[in-house]
Amino acid sequence: MPTRKKNPLFTYEDFPVGKVLDLGVKHVTEKEVLAFAWTYDPQPFHLDRLEGERSILGGLAASGWHTCAMLMRMIFDAFIKDTAGMGSPGLESLRWKRPVLVGDTLSGHGKVMEARLSESRPGMGITRIVYELHNQRGEPVITWDCTHFFKTRAAVEAEAREAAEA
């Protein structure tokens, strides 16, 4: 039997409801926390260790948006880089559950909650995935309820045929 995946891309069909996606591990460094905060969220508790320790966050903490950006990168490395993705319309919810501090190690997973074909756009699936990252103590730090657009296998194969004919 010939292998189905001549093209290495994952498509909509590869993310059925219930599928669990391992997101790997991310170590949070001071250099990265400061660089992000200076550009996107220059509040004292994200820029200065003493200010962070004095604040409600309890230490030099990553901007919540940095945590989002780190989670995005973990998702990219885990599977989006090999997926025929068409972006995202947004998230139903995002929760910052605990501060992410310099030195923390983040890991987590995504779980497919819902998957359906688009009615308005042929060749596209709409897949809702809930993500959670936790720190090295197993405490949740962030959750997303996120919608993805993925191409279908048929759409990817049709594009490959068109490209071959061109």
- Which of 9, 13, 19, 64 forms a contact with other proteins (CB under 8 A)? 64
- Which of 16, 42, 122, 140 forms a contact with other proteins (CB under 8 A)? 42
Tell me which stretch binds other proteins (CB under 8 A): 19-27, 82-90, 103-111, 126-134.
82-90
Would you tell me how many other CB atoms lie within 10 Å of the CB of residue 74? 23
- Which of 21, 34, 62, 70 forms a contact with other proteins (CB under 8 A)? 70
Minimum CB separation of residue 54 from other proteins in Å reads 10
- Which of 16, 17, 30, 39 forms a contact with other proteins (CB under 8 A)? 39
Give yes or no for residue 130 binding other proteins (CB under 8 A). no
Closest CA to 74 of 45, 98, 100, 113: 100
- Which of 9, 69, 113, 130 forms a contact with other proteins (CB under 8 A)? 69
Using CB under 8 A as the binding rule, the residues of this chain from 85 to 124 that contact other proteins are 85-96
Instruction: Check: CB of residue 142 under 8 Å from CB of residue 132.
Output: yes
Where do the H-state alpha helices sit in the chain? 30-40, 44-47, 49-54, 64-78, 153-165
Give yes or no for residue 155 binding other proteins (CB under 8 A). no
Minimum CB separation of residue 70 from other proteins in Å reads 7
Give yes or no for residue 56 binding other proteins (CB under 8 A). yes
What does the binding site for other proteins look like in residue numbers (CB under 8 A)?
A: 39-43, 56-57, 63-65, 68-70, 72-73, 76, 80-81, 85-96, 149
